[in-house]
Amino acid sequence: MRKTNSNNCFMKLKLTWLMTLFMAFVMQISLAQEKSVSGTVTSVSDGLPLPGVNVLVKGTTRGVQTDFDGNYAIKVSTGETLVFSFVSMVKKEVVVGSSNTIDVTMQEDIAALDEVVVVGYGTKSTVNETSSASVVSADQMEDRPIAGVNNLLKGFSTGVVVNAGSGQPGAGSVVRIRGISSLNAGTEPLYVIDGVPVISGDYSRLNTTSDVLSSINSNDIESMTVLKDASATAIYGARAANGVILITTKSGKSGSPRFGFSIESGFNEKAVDGPRNLTAAEWAELVDEGLVNALGSAYEGYTNDRLNPNGVDTNWGDAIERGTANQQQVNFSVSGGTDKLRYFSSLGFFDQESIVRNSMFNRTSGRLKVTYKLSDKITIGQNINAGFTNLKTLSSGGGFANPMLAKYFARPSDPVRNEDGTFYIGPAGNPRMSNGLFNVPMLLENNFNKARTLKLTGITDFSYDITENLNFSSRLSLDNTMIEEDSYQNPLHGDGFTPKGRAYAYDTRVFDYVFQNSLNYDFNLGDKNNFSVLLVQEAQKNHYRNVSASSEGYGKGGFYTVSVGSNILGAAGTRSQSTNAAYLGSLSYNFDNQLFLDATFRREGNSNFAEENKWGNFWSVSGAYDVAKGLDFDASSVNELKVRVSYGQVGNASIGSTSSLEYFSFGGEYGGRIPLFVGGVANPDLTWEVNKPLNFGLDFGLFNNRLTGSFDYFIKKTEDLLYSIPLSLTTGQTSKFVNAGSLENKGFEIGLGGRIFDNDFKWNSRINFSFVENELTSLLQNDVISGTKILREGESINTYYMRKWAGVDPANGDPLWYINGKDGATTNVYSKAERATQGNSLPNYTGGFINNFSYKGFSIETMLTFAFDYKVYDGWAAYLQSAGSYTLSYPGYANNLDRWQEPGDVALNPKNVYNNSNQNQATSTRFLYDGDHIRFSNLQIGYDFTKVFPSSTFSSVLLYLRGTNIITYTFDDLLEHDPETRTSGVTDLDLPPLKSYTVGVKVSF
């Protein structure tokens, strides 16, 4: 027994020893296979390191994160799989092999690129967005040769119409979102930069047109978001009736410093040639013919014998235009940060000349944006922007100094210069040209209109995370705009001749401050019920101040300041201020990222109204449901199918600070004293315009989001229209504001985008299409006729009202109009024809078609914009296409040559008769044209050398050629002016838009 037991013990000890050896051997092998693997994770788009990437061993909880420079190190065994994941990047898996170094490049997740959209007072995931909003990203705006940032929206956003109205560099633009919502109150959208409403619009007083937003460098912008429905705009209350444009500037990101440099240069031409002006021979032919038809054959050869004996043939268009104008810009930026500090800084210079001499715009800008995390709970930020612009503009409209007017009004028989090289300015005692006009090239060289604008903005942010889900933030914004304008008219010729020289000096100051405080609380009830509550207090105050002075009597010494004039004409100034206060709250609910509900309420006070009407309530409710998630569609076929609905009430208070008040003004002189007079008539009942937008929407993503799109149908009703009615002059005023009427804008928007090819060759395409119909539904006064327009219930507020042109009578060359204003019987007597509605100046259909192609290093970007179903009226054709009425004095357009001469002629213009009285040039559809057009707005061809020749220094080196406004195709062959006019639709001989050709280099490192 003992021997047996001993053997058993020995065997057990031996087995234990063998098992221990085996386990040690296994452990030794295992330890021999585990090793340290390290590497760097970078972005495939720019080659920059990615900090904070999660690196996890698949199937385990072992993992690390990349550091500030994108580096990582992890213990792992051969054969195991590392999983790399990062927000907005495609997850990547790598099997560990024999190498100890694994470098990874990560690609952006296309489906998540639009993951976050900026909304009122914050951001929101597009997944749970219930509102109608359009986003334009940085890559669509950078380095484009356009001065005004609002012009960058054209073609990229549904429901948005942008018209510059003038080709003057730095000109103000008209932006309309889903139509026009007011008659006499403001119709421009609210601009919000980095969460703060800012000063926008045209504050110039001496110059033709300008826009203070042109002081912003588009290369500093990360995105522009257009808010259109009540769900998006109601949170901004009485400033949001015309929509809201949110501009988000670039910020720094954690990582090593990132540098960007770009330089671009080129030239500008006219995007639209416009009507051709007559040569001397053509003008003589028309003048002589008109004189013979009116006075007899004795006037044959009259023009060359009496008016142009020296055979002068001046092309006034060539005399005022440069032919080509210079264009250039330079931009530099640096950004980066750590886990605590992030920064972005930039400098930029932009310079653009008009095709007309002595017209230009340049801008110098700088931005510094810093965010610092003081602790785990406290973050502070400072955002400073400075923009200085220098603008030279020209006279426009009916002024004799307007160069575009001179092109068609000046006689070709007058020379630009005398034989000795000096300017021809007519007789010494009456220095005007032969038809009483001015030598505009002389004025362009000796007169000036200048504006210098300095816009300084500063935003200070403070954020405190009270708890994990509760945040308090405070923001103070200071916005200061200073404009100095100078104008000089020389004493030798033009408007300055009689007073022996005249000068004006205007200073304008606009100061705006906004103070915001907010609480944001996010909480969950269970795993699927997610809530977010936002409370905001906001106060805004605006100060406006201007002074002006003028003098006359200048010598020839070249001193142009007002104080040099021998006769001080006077000085004047005004001051005003307005305030706005608001309290608001919003609640958002999200059920399992499938059902979304939002509600907003804003209580707002505005100083523009009388005491009892200063406060108003604005609100919205909205909801969305993702059908795709509810029905559990296959992700490879349907990714999103979200239906949306929203309704609410917003307001409009853009009427001026004294519109509802009775007040007195001082000014002028009477009996040696300063008189006191009525400045305004009180209307204590005046209140807000109320805008009630209803929106139905659908967002979809199909085939792994290869095809995405949205559809919106909207009805936007405006009630209590702010309308200026005429008053008896016995009141001391000509008009006052009342609430009188309503109007409606309704329509639909379609946006479709597709990744047609997504391999080495990529083709992304998008089309934006909008239809908006405007109707005046009621008005205190019906059939209000003003110039070429009428306000009539049931019609658009921009409806043309005039007689209808029936053409030229082939039998005798008489002008003809339709008697009933529409069709049928005609008459050659203007007064016997009735006026009727003839369409409107607002395009009903607008949109853009965008295509981006790329293959390895090559890329092509194209954009077409279009507008249909609207009319353009030539406001100067009455003088310039008059069938002889004014041809002797004002030569006009070359299309005057297409005229009736003998029976049977089918001609554009009636019989040419000097000083005729048949009213052929009176207001009618003869000069009303279809504005329908398609414009090739942008073409960029580029080559990124780093895509083919990778560099450890440069993440991108892009060489590109760009064309802007290359081709404009109009469907009406008779329309020779630019089809994109101001909102009125009436051309005013403004500077034509610019066609730009530029070459540029853009480097990132």
In this prediction, residues 552-558 reach a mean pLDDT of 79
Question: 4 pLDDT band (50/70/90 cuts)?
Answer: very low
Rounded-to-integer distance, Cα 375 and Cα 471, Å: 14
Question: 767 pLDDT band (50/70/90 cuts)?
Answer: very high
pLDDT at 728: 63
Question: 30 pLDDT band (50/70/90 cuts)?
Answer: very low
Confidence check: pLDDT of 762 > 50: yes
Nearest to 876 by CA among 408, 191, 332: 408
Alpha carbon dihedral 252, 386, 156, 853, in 10-degree steps, equals -60
Confidence check: pLDDT of 220 > 70: yes
pLDDT at 328: 95
Alpha carbon dihedral 286, 288, 293, 298, in 10-degree steps, equals -170
Segment holding 630, helix H or strand E:
helix 627-630
Question: 677 pLDDT band (50/70/90 cuts)?
Answer: low
Q: Which of 27-36, 142-151, 194-203, 327-336 has the highest mean pLDDT?
A: 327-336
Rounded-to-integer distance, Cα 354 and Cα 169, Å: 6
Rounded-to-integer distance, Cα 174 and Cα 158, Å: 16
Rounded-to-integer distance, Cα 564 and Cα 491, Å: 13
pLDDT at 484: 94
pLDDT at 24: 40
Going from the C-alpha of 235 to that of each of 194, 197, 231, 650, the distances in angstroms are 15, 12, 8, 8
Chain-wide mean pLDDT for the chain? 87
Rounded-to-integer distance, Cα 697 and Cα 699, Å: 7
Higher local confidence (pLDDT), 819 or 666: 819
Question: 10 pLDDT band (50/70/90 cuts)?
Answer: very low
pLDDT at 112: 44
* Identity of the residue numbered 464: Y
In contact, 553 and 609? CB cutoff 8 Å? no
pLDDT at 730: 63
Going from the C-alpha of 392 to that of each of 168, 395, 403, 425, the distances in angstroms are 9, 10, 14, 24
Tens-digit pLDDT profile for residues 562-580? 888 888 888 888 888 889 9
Residues in Cβ contact with 431 at an 8 Å cutoff, skipping those fewer than 6 apart: 425, 492, 493, 497
Quick one: tokens of 903?
């029976």
Rounded-to-integer distance, Cα 966 and Cα 935, Å: 8
Burial class from Cβ neighbours inside 10 Å (0-12, 13-18, 19+) for residue 386 reads: middle
In this prediction, residues 383-388 reach a mean pLDDT of 95
H helix runs in 100-257, sequence order: 230-233
pLDDT at 19: 44
Quick one: tokens of 495?
């408007």
Helices (H) and strands (E) in the chain, counts: 10, 52
Going from the C-alpha of 15 to that of each of 8, 12, 508, the distances in angstroms are 10, 5, 99
Confidence check: pLDDT of 110 > 60: no
Question: 69 pLDDT band (50/70/90 cuts)?
Answer: confident
In contact, 935 and 164? CB cutoff 8 Å? no
Q: What percent of the chain clears pLDDT 70, i.e. is strictly above it? A: 91
In this prediction, residues 797-803 reach a mean pLDDT of 95
Confidence check: pLDDT of 815 > 80: yes
Tens-digit pLDDT profile for residues 487-545? 999 999 988 999 999 999 999 999 999 999 999 999 999 888 999 999 999 999 999 99
Confidence check: pLDDT of 555 > 60: yes
In this prediction, residues 439-463 reach a mean pLDDT of 93
Confidence check: pLDDT of 325 > 80: yes
Lowest mean pLDDT among 181-195, 439-453, 731-745: 731-745
In this prediction, residues 273-281 reach a mean pLDDT of 95
Strand partners, 361: 352, 391
pLDDT at 87: 65
Higher local confidence (pLDDT), 927 or 111: 927
Going from the C-alpha of 50 to that of each of 65, 76, 869, the distances in angstroms are 10, 21, 50
In this prediction, residues 601-618 reach a mean pLDDT of 88
pLDDT at 123: 66
- Beta 638-652 vs 689-702: how paired, if at all? antiparallel
